[in-house]
Amino acid sequence: MALDTHQQDKSGLDVAQLRADTRGCTEVVHLNNAGSALPPSVVIDTIVEHLRLEEMIGGYEAHARAGDRINTVRDSIGALLDTSGSNIALSTSATDSWDRAFVAIKFASDYGPDTRILASSSEYASNVLPVMQLSRHLGVQLEFIPDDETGVTDVGALESMLDDNVAAVLINHCPSQNGLINPVAAIGHALARAQSNAWYLVDACQSVGQLPVDAVAVGADFLSVTGRKFVRGPRGTGFMYCSPRALSELEPFPADLHGTTWTPDGYTMRSDAQRFEAWEKSYAAVLGLGAAVDYSLALGMDAIFTRIEFLSGALRSMLAEVPGVAVLDRGVDKSGIVTFNHESVEAAEIVAALKNAGINVSVGTPEYSQVDYIAHGVSSLVRVSPHVFNTVEELERCVEIVSDRTGSATARY
């Protein structure tokens, strides 16, 4: 649902309060929330407080004192994903989550040249590279699912590709290099309709925290998420949703003594998603992640996405008026990730000009998602990713700099 320039923010959020809650707003215009968002101050205060406790009484003792709160972080994340905390495993990044799922699937399977793994065309490099390794060493076939005419994963095409040899389906919910939103729930339904045994892995790294995600409705076996992007948690945190099927059929490999107990007769595993966790964690970071999730829950995911949609829609409208700029975002429904390039000015030069003006955005290049970049003839792009605390004035300033750097005047929003 794209916004036009006449639409207003209907989120009901108190932007002045959101900015007061976010200390970094006084320093920078941060439009790189798809990279690593500005956290609310409560996140950093929570982390520092726990680190101070570790300093004063010892790490294990600080953990014991925070005990209950640490355990309820998984419940908060479960609430964010409309599921139970027992289906949530903590990790250190989206890739860490993904790898734990992927290795467990591989450990339970007998892969060979007949094995097929299907992936969305916008898949993130770290999700594709392990499959390429399996291709090189075991002959596994990696196949990319075509996009439909709107530019998102074509559900019908995926259905026609399914057979008993498809071991896994990998879908990027919101790519980092495009504002599209892939139809992950429709894909989940298609897999169920086809009674496919393929494991369904959804990369929800860029979607969770900016839009409502119902893990069960998506129908995925795993959803992998990072803490530092739209969730606004600390760096070095992540988590994943594990489906009941994943928990009943898969073992993490290698097992860690957090989720697996060495018994006199062998070993036993936890039945909940903690079986996928490592014993050692930064508990300060985990608590900070919990504070970030609770902050989002208090605002409400519908309100958060309404504001992000408003800001990103307004930004796309303004950018579209700058001569020579092409807004690259595909799909009918769009995320808060706004991507564009210019017919004659390099993306890196635009990003540098914005940086000089105190505006953080990022540059995208093909090694993050080769298939997507090649298919659309894009060699680099500028990515602008607003969050709830950004303002229309900040976006106007951003577009002014783009306009100046690319040598043209732009209409005021």
Ligand X SMILES: Cc1ncc(COP(=O)(O)O)c(C=O)c1O
Binding residues (CB under 6 A) for ligand X: these are 93-95, 124, 126, 172, 175-176, 203, 205-206, 226, 238
For the bound state, the minimum distance from the C-beta of residue 17 to ligand X, rounded and expressed in Å, comes to 28
Largest CA distance in the chain: 75
Specify the residue, 123 or 272, whose C-beta has the smaller distance to ligand X. 123
User: What DSSP string runs through 296-329?
Assistant: HHHH-HHHHHHHHHHHHHHHHHHHHTSTTEEE--
Q: Cα–Cα distance between 240 and 156 in angstroms, integer?
A: 27
Closest separation in Å from C-beta 240 to ligand X: 11
370: alpha, beta or left? (left if phi > 0; alpha if psi -120 to 50): alpha
Comparing CB distances to ligand X, the nearer of 205 and 322 is 205
- Nearer to ligand X (CB atom), residue 31 or residue 322: 31
Minimum distance, C-beta of residue 174 to ligand X, in the bound complex (Å): 7
| Token pair 């600080």 in the structure block, residue | 62
The amino acid present at 313, given as its one-letter code, is: G
Least CB distance from residue 304 to ligand X, whole Å? 18
Q: Smaller CB distance to ligand X: residue 47 or 181?
A: 181
Characterize the bridge pairing of strands 141-145 and 88-91: unpaired
**Smallest distance, Å, CB 208 to ligand X?**
11
Paired sense of beta strands 266-269 and 199-203, if any:
unpaired
Shorter beta-carbon distance to ligand X: residue 78 or 175: 175
> CB of 12: closest distance to ligand X in angstroms?
29
Tokens describing residue 135: 């291709």
Distance separating alpha carbons of residues 262 and 208, to the nearest angstrom: 35
Residue (of 330, 315, 329) closest to 400 by Cα position: 315
Structure-block tokens of residue 35: 């990279």
Q: At what angle do helices 125-138 and 94-107 cross, to 10 degrees?
A: 30
Quick one: which of 22, 39, 43 has its CA closest to 286?
A: 43
The minimum distance between CB 27 and ligand X, in angstroms, equals 23
For ligand X, the closer CB: 239 or 340: 239
Closer by beta carbon to ligand X, 126 or else 370: 126
